[in-house]
Homo-oligomer: A and B are copies of this chain.
Amino acid sequence: MRARDLAVDFPTATLDTPALEAAKLLAEHDLPGLILVDPDGRPLSILPGTQVLRLAVPAYCQDDPALARVVDEAHADLFLRRLGGKTVRECLPEQPKELPVADLKATVLELAALMARTRSPLVAVVDGVDGGRLVGAVTLQSLLDHVLEV
C-alpha cells in the first residue's frame, strides 16, 4: 500500500481564508486540521484545529484558563465571534514546524514515520518530490484502518 492508495481529497485553505470559515471547515468535515496551500496549490503549512482556537480565545485566558471563568456562560458561548475579520494567516504559529509531506510512492511505514516525527495526524501528499502540488492527504485514521487489517 502506498500514499497514492490511501490519500483522499482533503479540504484546503489559503493564508487569506477567513479564520471563521476555517473553523467551519474543521467542524463540518470532522478534520484534525486543515492543509494550507499557496496560489499554485503547493502545501504551505498544516493548521491544527487548536490553533484556530488560539486566535479566538483572549490572551489572558490562554495564559491562565481559570481566568476564563470570569466570563459568564452566555458570553463564553460567543467567543468565536472574535474570529470576525481575521484570516488564517494570523492563526499560524510564529515558528513554522517541519511540514509532513510525502509523495505518491511513500509506503505506509514512511507515512507513519512522518506522523510520528512531526506529531501530525495528517500527511499532505504531493505529486512530486520537490515543490509538488497537493493531491490529497493521508490521515492517522485511514493509516491505522489499513495497517490493522493487514
Contacts and interface: CB of A to CB of B under 8 A. Distances in A.
Given A32-B32, A50-B140, A77-B150, A113 B24 contact: no
B62 A121 contact: no
Interface string A88-117: 000000000000001000111110111111
**A contact face: mostly helix, strand, loop, or mixed:** helix
Protomer copies: 2
Interface residues of A, number: 56
Interface of A: 1-2, 23-24, 26-27, 30, 32, 48-51, 53-54, 56-57, 61-63, 65-66, 68-69, 71-73, 75-80, 102, 106-110, 112-121, 140-141, 144-148, 150
